[in-house]
Structure 1
Amino acid sequence: MKKLLILTSLIASNLSINAQSLSKSGYASVNGIKMYYQVYGEGKPLVLIHGGGSTIETSFGRIIPMLSMHRKVIALELQAHGRTSDRNSDLSFEQDADDVVGLLQQLKINNADFFGFSNGGTTALHIAIRYPKVVNKIVLGSALSKRNGVPAQFWEFMKQANLDNMPQELKDAYVKVAPDPSGLQIMHDRDAKRMVNFKDIPDEQIKAIKAPALIIIGDKDVIILEHALEMRRMLPGSELAIIPGVHGEYIEEITTLKSNSQQAGFVIQMIEKFLDNAR
């Protein structure tokens, strides 16, 4: 088993360096913003939605090579994040959902699977609620649907959030790719305000989602296990995977790399099996 994990890690590392088959990238004018996207590989479309304060690379850079071996992967950056411009309005998960679907319409993609991580998972829920015909299956990585899905101290922390305590890896990644690095403060403040004002998604809306869902969470995640179990019960036909590790470690999100996790290869195989199984 140990040899298998080491081999998987070596393969994933090699892929991340050598095999990112980027076939297209650019900007699309979507609902008043210039939205950046990348397309990798060929096959059934899989849309990747990053976490708060993140870029394509920080959330998914380590797993895009694996996913794009068998899929057409569409990775994007949301309002004020990374290379995508801001609009003169606060962030909302509903607006992000509209923006993602607007981009897909321009790319002439009528139906897709979605993998959202953290805030991106919450956005994926809103896409499934607002645009059910667009969604085939959804993978919800550490997604939050209710305020009680995180410890009470999380909300106190968010009220005190400032740029100084934002993870340095995320700050560096933003500055590296953003057309205007001074937008970092705007992105941070918009993200923090959205979380402070987070509103529960009503149970009836979650229960109405018809798309099969795979819920993934770390056993030391910021999202509490009971919340993941509650979503599992409310989403008909859903599956739940609890993986050892912290928030995002199972996909080797950039702030978790020091842990030297070797789980991404296994988790991607699990995701692919879920997506490929007949509905």
Structure 2
Amino acid sequence: MPITQLVADPNVVIVGDGPPLVLAHGAGGSVAANFTGVIESMSEQRSLIGIDYPGSGGTPVDAASLDLDVLADSLVAAAVDAGFDRFPILGLSLGSAVAVTAAIRHPERVTGLVLTVGFASADQQIRMVVDTWITLADVDRIALAKYLVSLGSPAVLAQLDDASAALAIDATLENYPEGGADQARLAASVDITGLLGAIDVPTLVVAAGQDRIVLPATTRALAHLIPNAELVEYPEAGHIFSAEETGRWIHDVTVHLHTHHL
């Protein structure tokens, strides 16, 4: 099913039919880029609602609006405007911090969370990745694309020959959003540690065992700070999931939603 942009608000994406699932994408991504597999697999059973952050998708660059509270409020408003009073949120990387912020700021709206390769606060690994990302974004976008590809899981990188590596670099360069560096800066500033103890909705945390952007220990720490959170780990996964890992992720998300009647 194709993604539909709301004409009245081009940064809002809605697709599918059924109970709602709200999508919060990661830094340097978009709803379409980060959730293609989710949209293809779940749109016949779910209404999927997301926003593209400033500088992604159809949303103009606006660094001043890249604030967790602003993004969380905008995400919730998009779901409410689409006709849904209560809904779970699926967050990816930076989107996990957006999802947590939304749950705390709008407890009457958010019914559950799935936090994927997320983090409570930016550790040294995240900050060093972002520092390199920002520097390359300013001087050499091709080098930035090569760097981002190089952060994939060892299993994926080991399968790349020269031709497939070139394709991956070209795809990364083509899909890189103008606001990517600004979104990365926001990720490097995240510290939602003080919010996590107040989360009282069913929460699934997904860690990637070979993640070289958000270390798996950092995602595990996020899970441990959330009361009653369930943690699952994909031992061979990197920050960007393979097709097989994406299938498992969608299965786990679906089970979590069904188990908790979300």
TM-score grouping bracket, smaller chain normalisation: 0.7 to 0.9
Are residue 36 (structure 1) and residue 36 (structure 2) matched?
Answer: no
| Preserved CA contact (<8 Å) 1:53 1:170 | no
Aligned to 1:206: 196
Hey, what does 2:167 align to over in structure 1? none
2:64 counterpart SS class: coil
Would you say the 8 A contact 2:65–2:71 is kept in 1?
no
Residue 247 of structure 2 corresponds to 265
Partner in structure 1 of residue 225 of structure 2? 234
Query: Is the CA contact 1:39–1:75 (under 8 Å) kept in the aligned structure 2?
Result: no
1:102-150 deviation digits (Å, cap 9, x = unpaired): 2122212111111111111121111112111111111111112212274
Instruction: Extract structure 1 runs of 4+ deviating beyond 3 A.
Output: 149-153
Q: State the partner residue of 2:174.
A: 172
**TM-aligned CA deviation for residue 210 of structure 1:** 1.0
What CA distance in whole angstroms lies between the structure 1 residues aligned with 2:52 and 2:63? 17
Distance apart, 1:206 and its partner CA: 0.8
Alpha-carbon distance in structure 1 between the residues aligned to 2:81 and 2:18: 18
Q: Is the 8 A contact 1:54 1:170 kept in 2?
A: no
Matched, 1:99 2:79: no
| Residue equivalent to 2:166 | none
262-271 vs 44-53, which moves further: 262-271
Partner Cα distance (2:124, 2:98) in 1: 16
Deviations 1:54-87 (A, max 9, x none): 1222111123121223222223312221112334
2:112 and 2:171 map into 1 onto residues whose CA distance is 31
**Distance in 2 (alpha carbons) for counterparts of 1:79 and 1:234:** 29
Question: Helix, strand or coil for the counterpart of 1:133?
Answer: coil
One-letter identity of the residue aligned with 2:104? I
- Offset at residue 228 of structure 1 (A): 2.1
Q: 2 CA distance for matches of 1:53 and 1:152?
A: 15
Q: Give the gaps of 5 or more residues in structure 1.
A: 1-19, 175-183, 253-260
Confirm whether residue 194 of structure 1 aligns to residue 194 of structure 2: no
8 Å Cα contact 1:27/1:37 also seen in 2? no
In structure 1, what is the Cα distance between the partners aligned to 2:204 and 2:63?
34
Counterpart residue number, 1:274: 256
Aligned length: 232
Which residue in the other structure is 1:25 paired with?
A: 5
The AA in structure 2 aligned to 1:245 is A
The change in CA–CA distance for 1:170 and 1:125 in structure 2 (over 3 A counts) is farther
Shift of the 95–152 alpha-carbon distance from structure 1 to 2, 3 Å rule, reads closer
Q: Distance in 2 between matches of 1:160 and 1:232?
A: 31
Distance, in Å, in 1 between the alignment partners of 2:49 and 2:127 is 35
Distance 1:123 1:57, change over 3 A: same
Q: CA deviation at 1:155?
A: 5.0
Pair 220,144 (structure 1): closer, same or farther in 2 beyond 3 Å: same
Q: Which residue of 1 aligns with 2:88?
A: 113
* Higher mean C-alpha deviation, range 89-98 or range 269-278: 89-98
CA contact (8 A) 1:217 1:225 kept: yes
Specify the alignment match of 1:247 in structure 2.
239
Q: Does 1:217 align with 2:207?
A: yes
Percent identity between matched residues is 21
Q: What displacement does 1:88 show? A: 6.4
**Aligned residues: CA RMSD:** 2.4
Tell whether the 8 Å contact from 1:79 to 1:96 is kept in structure 2 after alignment: no
Map Cα deviations across residues 189-234 of structure 1 (whole Å, 9 max, x no partner): 42243244x042233x111011111111211112222222222222
Match 2:33 to one of 54, 58, 67? 58
**Displacement of 1:25 after TM fit?**
3.1
Q: Does 2:42 match 1:67?
A: yes
